[in-house]
Amino acid sequence: MPVPAKARPRTRIQREKQDVILDGALNVFSVQGFRGATIDQIAEAAGMSKPNLLYYFASKEEIHRRLLEDMLDLWLDPLRELDAEGDPIPEIRSYIRRKLEMARDFPRESRLFANEMLQGAPHAVDVLEGELKALVDQKAGVIERWMADGKITRTDPYHLLFSIWATTQHYADFDVQVRAVLGKDRGGEGRFEDAARFLENLFMDGLRPKTS
């Protein structure tokens, strides 16, 4: 019995074509959002015709979902790496730095995610309520154990993570503002290292147990 076309593995050329489409679509979605983006814009950004694009992806929705899935998997990696057996201060410091590095290296992906959240997460709510929530619950439990053992000061582990997300992703989603305010002297690549040092000190000072 012949294998259905959808079950066949993609060839190298097909993978390359899809990667080109996804890269072009990321440029479009990160600026226009899902509602503002069109297949014609994505085809133009990918440097191919609309019929050619639709050979690889059936719809704008399919492209957008694929980008979100890839982005969310990437976005969750630093949290997955938070080691329950490690020293909490270095572990959380490393997590902050990895999140800031992602803001530096993947600004388009961060804006794609921000746009999706602003629209009420219609294409990502299943991941948010499923895989993301399960991972955050697990890591919140790790942070709670560190607190119970007196390794870090007591706080709300969920809001700790929310605060890390908010402060690090700011440098991707509002990079134009950051560079404008810092000016030419401080708005170059060094701004990320400056931000890393500041955020590490901010969170670490708040998390270290207070000595009597």
The domain spans of the chain are 1-58, 65-207
Task: Give 3-state DSSP helix, strand, coil % of the chain, rounded to 5.
Answer: 80, 0, 20
Residue with tokens 């019929």: 51
Q: What is the CATH number of domain 1-58?
A: 1.10.10.60
Find the Cα–Cα–Cα–Cα dihedral 149, 152, 153, 157, rounded to 10°.
-90
> Under the phi-then-psi rule, with left for phi > 0, alpha for psi from -120 to 50, and beta for the rest, what region is 183?
left
Looking at beta carbons, which pairs linking 190-199 to residues 24 or more positions away fall under 8 Å? 192/100, 192/101, 192/103, 192/104, 195/100, 195/171, 196/96, 196/97, 196/100, 199/96, 199/100, 199/164, 199/167, 199/168
pTM of the predicted protein model: 0.84
Q: So what's the pLDDT on residue 96? A: 96
Query: Cβ(207)–Cβ(89) under 8 Å?
Result: yes
Looking at beta carbons, which pairs linking 89-94 to residues 24 or more positions away fall under 8 Å? 89/151, 89/152, 89/204, 89/207, 89/208, 92/152, 92/164, 92/203, 92/204, 92/207, 93/200, 93/203, 93/204
3-class DSSP state of 9: coil
Q: So what's the pLDDT on residue 188? A: 83
Q: Which is nearest to 78 in space by CA: 96, 90, 61, 66?
A: 96
111: how many CB neighbours lie within 10 A of its CB?
20
Q: So what's the pLDDT on residue 7? A: 40
Q: So what's the pLDDT on residue 46? A: 96
What residue ranges of the chain have pLDDT lower than 50? 1-9, 212
65-207: CATH, from 3.40.640.10, 3.90.25.10, 1.10.357.10, 1.25.40.10: 1.10.357.10
